[in-house]
Structure 1
Amino acid sequence: MLVRRALNWLKDKITSKAQQILLTILAAGPIPKHVAFVMDGNRRYARRNQKNISQGHKDGFVALKRSIQMLEICLRLDVKCVSAYAFSIENFKRLPEEVDALMGLAEEKLVELCDHGDLLDQYGVRLNVVGRTELLPESVQQAVRRAESLTRHHHKAIFNLCMPYTSRDEMTSAVQFCVQNAAREGPNAIITEDDIDAQLMTSLGGSPPLDILIRTSGVKRLSDFLLWQCCENTQLQFTTTYWPNFGLLDFVPIILDYQLKVWRS
């Protein structure tokens, strides 16, 4: 508790040099290879700050941009993969104006990534848009294709932007592929857990096993995100910070907790 209070106090005071010292200390311990975020709390953040819902989600996408910039920090810590839950397939059931605002923001940020790709180039980050992209408006699909193609040659790190995505859909697609493949092989074909795992969208994108899943805003549920990937050794972390406010000093206690558990195991 005392450490967390100190980190909260430092949020607006920490300098780049202090960040570097902190990262150097953290890097001396075990570091997760794959960290995932459920970016929750945008709408509640908007209400709390007397903003409309679309503005709250816009702040969330601004924070998403900051998280991409924070990949530099992840690279220094040797985190190889970051996954973020940006839009669920179920979100299409929301009010049309809210969905339209989210789609517009998604296109805007993807275009911005393309126009400022030097950051991704500098740190070798490959962007994967994971999910049923055919459900997106055509203009957003075009932005997805362009953003992915510009980073296909990168191999140092992976950023999975999950939209529109649900884990049930991912697992269903993987099982369907395995069944179809088994039917071609004949009646003696056997479908194994490894076969299904190999056909998951994250596996196809080259992601390592999931070490930590973080959900912001204090809500303690997975909401159909990376359910298969969470089934074994994934460490679940829930923070009360709303996603638009989530930053490095919210991340530090999570890494420390991961390191402690690794050392104790």
Structure 2
Amino acid sequence: MLLRRGWTWLQDKIYTKARNFFLNILAAGPIPKHVAFVMDGNRRYARLNRKAIQEGHSDGFVALRRMLEVCLQLNVKCVSAYAFSIETFKRPEEEVSALMKLAEEKLVELTENGDILDEYGVRLNVIGKTELLPESVQKAVRRAEDRTRHNNRAIFNLCMPYTSRDEITTAVQSCIRNANSRDSEEPYITEKDIDAQLLTNLGGSPPLDILIRTSGVKRLSDFMLWQCCEDTQLQFSSTYWPDFGLFDFIPIILDYQRKVWSRRIEVS
């Protein structure tokens, strides 16, 4: 038993030193301000590892914490994560209930302990049609957001339940209301007006630099369609989300840095 504990401690020590070494190297280059994750593959990961679907989602939250901390250590100013879609409510009731329970549990942890968000000065924004959530989860959302409202060094957007089409529709509706309130004869809405009313921008998020989707699926699945339509780099990883870690992330950041340096050379 002692030998096993000693070996585990040594492995953790080696991993921590290796992680810090690579993070220091990456930090020497340009760092994206905003990184978003489509956390795909929890269910396939669970089936592959002969686990219950709920365990796959739970392991996915562990991966989210891991990658959030990596991003914050690199001084990424904003991280967005697609926790679940509005369409998720069409899944089997048992799976939806487990997701709601897990979401509430993790939000309560943030509320009670502060944890990683206070350590790095992160403000939590829960983005989406939150009125669709059970009342207990809505209360946990409000507590967690209030608990981190004073943090101002970084932003964490937890998108749930979210779809980009709903976000854009809500933004257009807000623009129409604002235009009508100005009593102008012909209300005129611009692209900038809509952009300013997006849920991410209302929360203070910078433009999206990198969008990463795991599990080998190459589609956006109604996530941040407006935000990634211009200069965002799309990256697709074959790794299932619960297994996604630093060494999957390093090539993505290096590719981002290479492209930034290439643009700088072209401009000069």
Same fold, judged at TM 0.5 (above): yes
CA distance in 1, matches of 2:239, 2:78: 22
Aligned to 2:83: 86
CA deviations 1:99-118 (Å, max 9, x no partner) are: 00100110011111222204
The answer to whether residue 187 in structure 2 is matched with residue 183 in structure 1 is no
1:1-265 equivalences under 5 Å are 14-68=14-68, 70=69, 73-185=70-182, 186-265=184-263
Gap runs ≥5 in structure 1: 1-10
Per the alignment, do residues 67 and 77 of structure 1 end up closer, same or farther by CA in structure 2, a change over 3 Å counting? Answer: closer
Structure 1 runs (4+) deviating above 6 angstroms are: none
Larger radius of gyration: 2
CA distance in 1, matches of 2:143, 2:67: 20
CA RMSD of aligned residues (A): 1.5
CA distance in 2, matches of 1:264, 1:158: 28
Q: Secondary structure at the match of 2:35?
A: strand
CA distance in 2, matches of 1:12, 1:229: 37
Aligned to 1:5: none
> Cα offset for 1:93?
0.6
CA distance in 1, matches of 2:239, 2:31: 22
Gap runs ≥5 in structure 2: 1-10, 264-268
Per the alignment, do residues 76 and 66 of structure 1 end up closer, same or farther by CA in structure 2, a change over 3 Å counting? Answer: closer
CA distance in 1, matches of 2:160, 2:171: 17
Contact between 1:65 and 1:109, CA under 8 Å: does it hold in 2?
A: no
CA distance in 1, matches of 2:234, 2:51: 30
CA distance in 2, matches of 1:164, 1:15: 34
CA distance in 1, matches of 2:14, 2:236: 23
Letter in 2 for 1:59: D
What percent of counterpart residues are identical?
Answer: 74
CA distance in 2, matches of 1:95, 1:17: 43
Contact between 2:30 and 2:260, CA under 8 Å: does it hold in 1?
A: yes
Letter in 2 for 1:198: A
CA deviations 1:162-201 (Å, max 9, x no partner) are: 0000000000000011011112222233211110000000
Taking structure 1 as the reference length, the TM-score comes to: 0.91
CA deviations 1:106-160 (Å, max 9, x no partner) are: 0011111222204321210101000011100000001100000000010101000
Work out the number of aligned pairs and report it.
Answer: 252
Contact between 2:67 and 2:246, CA under 8 Å: does it hold in 1?
A: no
Letter in 2 for 1:100: S
Which stretch of structure 1 is more off in the superposition, 111-120 or 190-199? 111-120
